[in-house]
Structure 1
Amino acid sequence: MAQKQTQYSESSITVLKGLEPVKERPGMYTRTDSPTHICQEVIDNAADEALGGYASEIQVEIHDDGSLSVKDNGRGIPVGIHPAEGLPVVELVFTQLHAGGKFNKKDGGSAYAFSGGLHGVGVSVTNALSSRLEVTVKREGKIHRIVFSDGFVIGPLTEIGKCAVKDSGTEVRVWPNGKYFETPQYSIPELERLLRAKAVLLSGVTVSLTRRLKGADEAVTQTWHYPDGLKSYLADLISEAREAVPVFSCENYISDGHEGDFSVGEGAAFALTWLEEGSCANESYVNLIPTPLGGTHEAGLKQAVFQAVNNFITLHNLLPRGVKVQSDDVFGKAAFVLSARVLDPQFQGQTKDKLTNRDALKLVAAVAGDPLELWLNQNVEFGKKIADLAIKQAQARMRSVKKIEKKKGSGVAVLPGKLTDCESEDIRENELFLVEGDSAGGSAKLARDKATQAILPLRGKVLNSFEVHPDQLFGNAEIHDISVAIGVDPHGAGDSPDLSGLRYGKIAILSDADVDGSHIQVLLLTLFYRHFPKLIADGHIYVAQPPLFRVDVSAQGKSKPARKFYALDQGELDSILERLQKEGLSDNKYSISRFKGLGEMNPDQLKDTTMHPDTRRLLQVQIPDGAAEDTQNIFVKLMGKGEAASRRAWMEAEGDTAEVDI
């Protein structure tokens, strides 16, 4: 039976304008489990005013009609007409994506030196997903109001009264549209944590939440104000745990006259301690934005703390013979609150749950390491307690590895000769990189961390195993070596395989960033999907993402040394070039080179961009819930031997959408 062709013509393309993209795909811009995050965007704007020193109060109230209001006594959003757009600025901020006062920070054209807001998306998303939104602004002795509904203006900007010239600020009241969220209820614990953290991180600022408790006649107000900042906040977080040492706190920001890659004002404040028992409370923030998934700033703190503690252990000769302390041993019992200040933060996604700036790792490591090492050596008794905790964690880890290890029969397969194995036997930290070709394998061997990273070079393209019978799989040398190296036998989707022999917690496919590399990725993913499905289900399979381009920026005097940037694809390259142009660099001040393959990268480049856990991009392979049938159909179409006709029809229909790499 002939398959009906889907019409694909010029009229098939839909262009979403204004705030329509947000309404069409809200999950791309915010969390949709509850309206809490869209209200957090408004709170973050008020916090940015306080971070700049313009506001001393942030008042949040949940009203009986389900709306939420945020009020600050900052400068007030400008209400004048925008010189280019011809609309009131306050209207632009709430109705246009990528309109805001937080761009051009490096050339001084921004309204904020440091902010959590990046690209003017936050409150316009709030507006798009609200059935009603009111903004009241006090500024220059006048009170203005504008009203929106579903992102559109329904009450134009109007002057509604007078106020004292010194009385300024903004109040935003939001009625979230329930159709975009799984529940209309705000997450009160999340709001309380957020507001309490803002009070901690904003010295001298009072933050409050007013709401009516269930069954109560009158609303109650919670107020947060922390005169001791991070130190008292961390003490609150670990109040039920027993501290091994007193809380150590520190603030260290880059000052005038500093030569290096960082700007004046960048740096970090943190409070840190170790617990004898109890749960560890770790929280981090970037420009007051909470980062529950951590990121490079947390990696920087961990690097600095590990280095400081490890140096202390070495200096005082505290390490027992045969014990090697690792970063996780030092942090196993640590509790910390970290507040980083970064001029141009880059987050993973619009919800800003994770910081991704590679510079932030170096920044926090640089400002945190020396003060902590000095404190340890000034408080030797506390330093020895911390060292003892780390050493005990290391010894427990080593015992658990030996306990997990299983005796194998005499028929155990010999590991492949081309496998360069790692030293550790702990599968929770071990990683195997399946590398395309011997040349790339050589670079990877030099770039790896030999303690935890193993390399298995593959010759050419692996067999398409989609329709290969399991009994015939080991006829292919590459598949045989992969199976023996990982310690797991091939199995089917309905089987219950024995994974006790698994030798690596992460198995990463590392291929060139070109068409051939993508083909090798697909062939290996086919192998794991068809014959090792349990490894995918348990989250052991990953795809590494090496860069395609490198940008070398020449040194500009003593204050700005030479820099290197890496781009995954053309889009990232364009973004880097745009950033350099904003810095005022001409074309002859930088050069662009394209990597032809992994073998062309020197080991340091491969390590920094693709293999080091703190700076690489590693994608976990998962099959979303409910997508099993669609995934199977895609593999059948792409890899099935009898599907040539459907592949041809698909390529004819979709071929003009492909990005050809010539």
Structure 2
Amino acid sequence: MASKNYSADQFTVLKGLEPVRLRPGMYTRTTCPTHIVQELIDNSADEALAGQATQIDVTVCPDGSVIVEDNGRGIPVGIPPGESRPAAELAFTTLHAGGKFDKTDQASAYRFSGGLHGVGVAVTNALSKRVVVDIHTRDPEGSGYGHYRLGFADSAIEAPLVRIENSTSRKHGTRVQVWPDARYFDSNRVNIRELTHLLRSKAILLPGLRVTLSLPEQEPILWQYDAGLSGYLEELLADTETITPIFTQSVYQNDDSHGFAEGEGANWAICWAAQGCPKPETYVNLIPTLDGGTHESGFRAGVFEAVRSFMEHHSLMPAKVKLVQEDVTGKMALVLSARILDPQFQGQTKDKLTSREAYKLMVQTIRDPLELWLNSHPEAGRAIVEQAIQSAQLRSRAAKKVERKKGSGLATLPGKLTDCESTDIQRNELFLVEGDSAGGSAKAARDKEYQALLPLRGKVLNTWEVDADLIFKNQEVHNMAVALGIEPHGVDADPEQVLAGLRYGKIMILSDADVDGSHIQVLILTLFLRHFPALLRRGHVFVVKPPLYRVDTTWRGKARKIYCEAETERDAAIERLRAEGVKESAISVQRFKGLGEMNPDQLWETALCPDTRSLVPLTMTLTEQAFLQERFNLLMGKQSAGERRAWMERDGWTADLDV
């Protein structure tokens, strides 16, 4: 078949809200429209966080539409500088438009907010059949307060912004009614349970805020928590036996002398349960982070450090038991509300925080206050310590049940392997590191308790068309297989049986962030897919994404370093610094030529530390296995050169290439 031509005629530029309507899953969850309603609620909550709103009312109507109303300042109706349309219209029709980008100005309307990308209510409008916005706010010329209305149909303006009347008694606030478009969601009805949890959390996180939810044919539900997080956690633990009282406190930076922005910090409530405890609830600038993130990881690390310090001070450290973080925090009930100046989230739905600086901030925020609290409540501290030691002892006994192969058997462990101390197979990690020099840095950086290293010299053999009994002729493949402790097997093998001798629960591919590094990743993946497929089926394999650049700046006495994985991320970081007023001369960029150039502390922070590294899990289902076999036959088979060339000419433009 003749290859298709690729010309400028086939080049498409998506404008306005077209990207959202074409690929809604990139911007929101498409199971139901709850998240696009949450965008409206988050805007109202940001008004409350700024001290400008005291009430949020949400109504779910019988026709499926939802109304969100607050008594904040109202969306601005004036025309921003350099624009020809009112701010309210821009907010609902233009991606990356809003009042939440300037985080450095102390007088910013939204210095701390969940708004990050400026796509919130624009996504709401893009995925709705209709949107009607009523705004009560001060007139642009400042002469009084007016009632304005703006309407949309299928994301296009149906009724331009118009001033309807004067607002009585200086009324102010915003009311938005949306009709979600069923074409974009599995169900066009909001999830009432999720909506209830969201609204209650806003009331919890903002003591004194009055929040109501009205459902068809039901009495309105009212939430108002004057006790804040402590009262909420007490409510969550009503049926749970606890071993400590609730510890709650708020700690925020008074200035930027500690390397963090003024106002950053956290409010928390924690308690230790005797057995199971509720799932931790964490928030960033009032946004619920359902999957946690660096703020939760840093908070737990700070708790662990504080408890260990208490143990050392009171001579409670066990002689033959090594505590890990999970031993201390495994039964800790937690409600955490973090305040971050410029939060970075994983995805537009903001379910997980990825800001590396948040980890350090939370460690610093909780460590000293908790240590002081433990010394003031020694009985509670001793109860936490006893529980942690018991957990460590149980974990140690469970790990000893797993037969670990060291030097016994026919094959001895490869000499280049730097093994770990732990016998906990599920916790242990093996890093397959590109090059001896990188292996040296990683060896100095690793946590030797549970992280093992195997440096690989040069490119791994392409084993796609090599029989299983011949792959061990290659030294690097031999070393990997022996270190893992498993034998080659076919796609139909029972994973339980072939992985019985596996020595590490996580296998990490750590290579340079360049073309050669990507090639090594592909070759190792080829080996696993062809000869060790059970590793992929059971989710044991990961690719570590080290940074390619580091952006450094020292501005007004504050040193900052930002790691970036690609050029676009580097450019965005530099633009962000410029927007904050950092001079060009104060910004320096370092490009890492390879892992061997990175200092151990840099390598730990970006590639080895479980809380701050970036991982890509490599998994496959039985359904995907057949497709992958076919695709790798095409890409890695020596006899498929002609087909490979035809594919590159026909579909090569669809590949995400690193060249």
Q: For residue 86 of structure 1, report the CA deviation from its aligned partner.
A: 0.9
Q: For residue 660 of structure 1, report the CA deviation from its aligned partner.
A: 8.4
SS at 1:613's partner residue? Answer: coil
Aligned counterparts, 1:424-443, within 5 A: 424-443=422-441
Q: For residue 108 of structure 1, report the CA deviation from its aligned partner.
A: 4.6
Choose from 391, 399, 411 the match for 2:389: 391
**Which residue in 1 is equivalent to 2:346?**
348
Letter in 2 for 1:173: Q
**Which residue in 2 is equivalent to 1:49?**
47
Q: For residue 588 of structure 1, report the CA deviation from its aligned partner.
A: 2.3
Letter in 1 for 2:265: G
Q: Deviations over 1:276-311 (max 9, x none)?
A: 023333100000000011111111111110001111
CA contact (8 A) 2:282 2:337 kept: yes
CA contact (8 A) 2:77 2:86 kept: yes
Q: For residue 476 of structure 1, report the CA deviation from its aligned partner.
A: 1.7
Name the CA distance, whole Å, in 1 between partners of 2:589 and 2:405: 53
TM-align CA RMSD: 1.9
Is 1:645 aligned with 2:642?
Answer: yes
The farther-off stretch of 258-267 and 223-232 is: 258-267
**Which residue in 2 is equivalent to 1:153?**
157
Unaligned runs of 5+ in 2: 139-144
Name the CA distance, whole Å, in 2 between partners of 1:625 and 1:126: 37
**Which residue in 2 is equivalent to 1:242?**
241
**Which residue in 2 is equivalent to 1:231?**
230
Is 1:594 aligned with 2:598?
Answer: no
Aligned counterparts, 1:16-415, within 5 A: 16-108=14-106, 110-140=108-138, 141-212=145-216, 218-256=217-255, 259-405=257-403, 411-415=409-413
Unaligned runs of 5+ in 1: 213-217
Name the CA distance, whole Å, in 2 between partners of 1:406 and 1:446: 25
SS at 1:404's partner residue? Answer: coil
The farther-off stretch of 407-416 and 54-63 is: 407-416
Q: For residue 603 of structure 1, report the CA deviation from its aligned partner.
A: 1.3
SS at 1:223's partner residue? Answer: strand
Name the CA distance, whole Å, in 2 between partners of 1:582 and 1:605: 26
Q: 1:4 to 1:452 in 2, by over 3 A?
A: same
Name the CA distance, whole Å, in 1 between partners of 2:633 and 2:650: 18
Q: Deviations over 1:348-406 (max 9, x none)?
A: 11000011111111111112111110010011111100111111111111111012336
SS at 1:593's partner residue? Answer: strand
Name the CA distance, whole Å, in 1 between partners of 2:569 and 2:436: 29
Letter in 2 for 1:201: L
Letter in 2 for 1:439: S
Q: 1:117 to 1:268 in 2, by over 3 A?
A: same
Name the CA distance, whole Å, in 2 between partners of 1:611 and 1:13: 41
SS at 2:212's partner residue? Answer: strand
Name the CA distance, whole Å, in 2 between partners of 1:77 and 1:549: 39
Q: 1:416 to 1:388 in 2, by over 3 A?
A: same
**Which residue in 2 is equivalent to 1:520?**
520
Q: TM-score w.r.t. structure 2 length?
A: 0.95
CA contact (8 A) 1:550 1:564 kept: yes
The farther-off stretch of 136-145 and 189-198 is: 136-145
CA contact (8 A) 2:433 2:510 kept: yes
The farther-off stretch of 106-115 and 414-423 is: 106-115
Q: Deviations over 1:259-289 (max 9, x none)?
A: 1211111110000000002333310000000
Is 1:618 aligned with 2:615?
Answer: yes
Q: For residue 436 of structure 1, report the CA deviation from its aligned partner.
A: 0.9
Letter in 1 for 2:529: Y
Q: For residue 649 of structure 1, report the CA deviation from its aligned partner.
A: 2.9
The farther-off stretch of 279-288 and 157-166 is: 157-166
The farther-off stretch of 487-496 and 288-297 is: 487-496
Q: 1:75 to 1:624 in 2, by over 3 A?
A: farther
Aligned residue pairs, count: 651
**Which residue in 2 is equivalent to 1:530?**
530
Q: For residue 443 of structure 1, report the CA deviation from its aligned partner.
A: 1.1
**Which residue in 2 is equivalent to 1:215?**
none
Q: For residue 564 of structure 1, report the CA deviation from its aligned partner.
A: 2.2
Q: For residue 164 of structure 1, report the CA deviation from its aligned partner.
A: 2.2
SS at 1:236's partner residue? Answer: helix
Aligned counterparts, 1:558-597, within 5 A: 559-560=557-558, 562-597=559-594
Q: For residue 585 of structure 1, report the CA deviation from its aligned partner.
A: 2.7
CA contact (8 A) 1:508 1:542 kept: yes
Name the CA distance, whole Å, in 1 between partners of 2:429 and 2:206: 41
Name the CA distance, whole Å, in 1 between partners of 2:534 and 2:75: 54
Letter in 2 for 1:466: W
Q: For residue 410 of structure 1, report the CA deviation from its aligned partner.
A: 6.1
Name the CA distance, whole Å, in 2 between partners of 1:626 and 1:110: 51
Q: For residue 622 of structure 1, report the CA deviation from its aligned partner.
A: 2.2
Letter in 2 for 1:33: T
CA contact (8 A) 2:132 2:152 kept: yes
Q: For residue 652 of structure 1, report the CA deviation from its aligned partner.
A: 4.0
Q: For residue 513 of structure 1, report the CA deviation from its aligned partner.
A: 0.9
Name the CA distance, whole Å, in 2 between partners of 1:289 and 1:420: 42
Q: TM-score w.r.t. structure 1 length?
A: 0.95
Q: For residue 409 of structure 1, report the CA deviation from its aligned partner.
A: 11
Q: For residue 626 of structure 1, report the CA deviation from its aligned partner.
A: 5.0
Q: 1:155 to 1:28 in 2, by over 3 A?
A: same
CA contact (8 A) 2:105 2:111 kept: no
SS at 2:9's partner residue? Answer: helix
Q: 1:15 to 1:475 in 2, by over 3 A?
A: same
The farther-off stretch of 149-158 and 121-130 is: 149-158
Identity %, equivalent residues = 55
SS at 2:136's partner residue? Answer: strand
SS at 2:334's partner residue? Answer: strand
Q: For residue 584 of structure 1, report the CA deviation from its aligned partner.
A: 2.4
